[in-house]
Amino acid sequence: MRHSGQLIVILGMVALSACSGVEPWVKPYERAHLADPIMNFSRNPVSDNFGSHVYQVREGARGAEGGHGGGWGCK
Amino acid sequence: MGAAGAASERLRLTLWRTLRAAVATSPLALLVGSPSLDAGVLAEDRADALYHSYDGGGVEVNGPSILVRKGDNKQISGSLNYYVDSISSASVDVITQGSPYSEKRTEWSGSVDYLHADTTMTAGYTYSNESDYQANTFNFSISQSMFGELTTVTLGYSRGFDDISSNVDPAVDESADHQNYHVSLSQVLTKNLLLSLNYDAITDEGFLRNPYRHVYVLDDPNDPNSLANFNTPERYPSTRTSNALSANFLYYLPYRASLKLGYRYYADDWDISAHTVDLRYTHPLGGRWLFDIGARYYQQTHADFYADLFQRPDQQNFMARDKELSEFQDYSVGFGITYNLLKKPRGFIDKATLNFNYDRVWFKYDDFSDVSGGGLPAQAPLYEFDADVMRFYGSIWY
- Kindly determine whether residue A64 and residue B246, on different chains, have CB atoms separated by under 8 Å: yes
Q: How close, in Å, is residue A63 to chain B by CA atoms? A: 5
Contacts of B23 in chain A (CB under 8 A): 29
Q: Which of B53, B6, B86 is nearest to B356 (CA)?
A: B53
Q: Three-class SS of residue B211?
A: coil
- Kindly determine whether residue A75 and residue B274, on different chains, have CB atoms separated by under 8 Å: no
Q: How close, in Å, is residue A21 to chain B by CA atoms? A: 9
Considering only CB atoms, B194 lies closest to which of A15, A34, A73, namely A34
Residue of B nearest to A37 (CA): B12
Q: Any CB–CB contact under 8 A between B5 and chain A?
A: yes
Considering only CB atoms, B50 lies closest to which of A32, A47, A63, namely A47
User: Which pLDDT belongs to residue A66?
Assistant: 61
From CA B157, how far away is CA B123, in angstroms rounded? Answer: 10
* Whether the complex's predicted ipTM surpasses the cut of 0.90: no
Contact B261, B282 (CB under 8 A): no
Report the percent of chain B where pLDDT is more than 90.
81
Considering only CB atoms, B264 lies closest to which of A40, A43, A64, namely A64
Taking only residues 8 to 37 of chain A, the set having a beta carbon closer than 8 angstroms to any beta carbon of chain B reads 8, 11, 15, 18-19, 22-37
**Average pLDDT value for chain B:** 91
Mutate to test the interface with A, among B10, B13, B14, B15 (most CBs of A within 10 A): B15
From CA B42, how far away is CA B75, in angstroms rounded? Answer: 7
> A29 versus A75: which is more confidently predicted?
A29
Considering only CB atoms, B5 lies closest to which of A25, A33, A48, namely A48
> A72 versus B44: which is more confidently predicted?
B44
User: Mean pLDDT, to the nearest integer, of B212-221?
Assistant: 94
Considering only CB atoms, A73 lies closest to which of B180, B241, B257, namely B180
> Residue A11: pLDDT band by 50, 70, 90 thresholds?
low
Distances (CA, A) of B125 to B54, B78, B107: 26, 12, 11
Considering only CB atoms, A36 lies closest to which of B48, B156, B252, namely B252
- Kindly determine whether residue A65 and residue B391, on different chains, have CB atoms separated by under 8 Å: no
* Tens-digit pLDDT profile for residues B234-279: 999 999 999 999 999 999 999 999 999 999 999 999 999 999 999 9
β-strand B239-253 against B228-233: which pairing, if any? Answer: unpaired
From CA B81, how far away is CA B2, in angstroms rounded? Answer: 13
- Kindly determine whether residue B32 and residue A32, on different chains, have CB atoms separated by under 8 Å: yes
Q: Which of B9, B41, B3 is nearest to B157 (CA)?
A: B3
Query: Would you say residue B147 has pLDDT above 80?
Result: yes
User: Which pLDDT belongs to residue B373?
Assistant: 86
Contacts of A74 in chain B (CB under 8 A): 2, 109, 126, 137
> A10 versus B95: which is more confidently predicted?
B95
Considering only CB atoms, A73 lies closest to which of B158, B244, B245, namely B158
How many C-beta atoms surround the C-beta of residue B255 within 10 A?
7
From CA B248, how far away is CA B195, in angstroms rounded? Answer: 6
User: Which pLDDT belongs to residue A13?
Assistant: 59
Contact B5, A67 (CB under 8 A): yes
How many C-beta atoms surround the C-beta of residue B386 within 10 A?
14
Contacts of A47 in chain B (CB under 8 A): 48, 50, 336, 355, 357, 391, 393
* Tens-digit pLDDT profile for residues B298-334: 999 999 999 999 999 999 999 999 999 999 999 999 9
* Tens-digit pLDDT profile for residues B274-291: 999 999 999 999 989 999
User: Which pLDDT belongs to residue B99?
Assistant: 85
From CA B47, how far away is CA B334, in angstroms rounded? Answer: 24
Mutate to test the interface with A, among B146, B158, B202, B203 (most CBs of A within 10 A): B202
User: Which pLDDT belongs to residue A29?
Assistant: 87
- Kindly determine whether residue B198 and residue A65, on different chains, have CB atoms separated by under 8 Å: yes
Q: How close, in Å, is residue A10 to chain B by CA atoms? A: 11
User: Which pLDDT belongs to residue A8?
Assistant: 65
Write the class of the CATH domain B3-397: mainly beta
User: Which pLDDT belongs to residue B329?
Assistant: 98
User: Mean pLDDT, to the nearest integer, of A45-66?
Assistant: 92
Query: Would you say residue B88 has pLDDT above 90?
Result: yes
User: Which pLDDT belongs to residue B374?
Assistant: 84
Angle value at C-alpha B288, between B82 and B388, nearest 5 degrees: 50
Q: Name which of B72-76, B177-181, B202-206 the model is least confident about.
A: B72-76
Task: Give the torsion sign (CA, B111, B114, B119, B123).
Answer: negative
Domain boundaries, chain B: 3-397
- A13, A14, A17, A23 alpha-carbon torsion, rounded to 10°: -150
Chain A and chain B share a number of CB contacts under 8 A equal to 272
User: Which pLDDT belongs to residue B287?
Assistant: 86
Taking only residues 242 to 281 of chain B, the set having a beta carbon closer than 8 angstroms to any beta carbon of chain A reads 242-248, 250, 252, 256-258, 260, 262, 264, 266, 268, 270, 272, 274, 276
Contacts of A4 in chain B (CB under 8 A): 181, 183, 199, 201, 243
* Tens-digit pLDDT profile for residues B221-231: 999 899 999 99
Q: Any CB–CB contact under 8 A between B379 and chain A?
A: no
From CA A22, how far away is CA B323, in angstroms rounded? Answer: 50
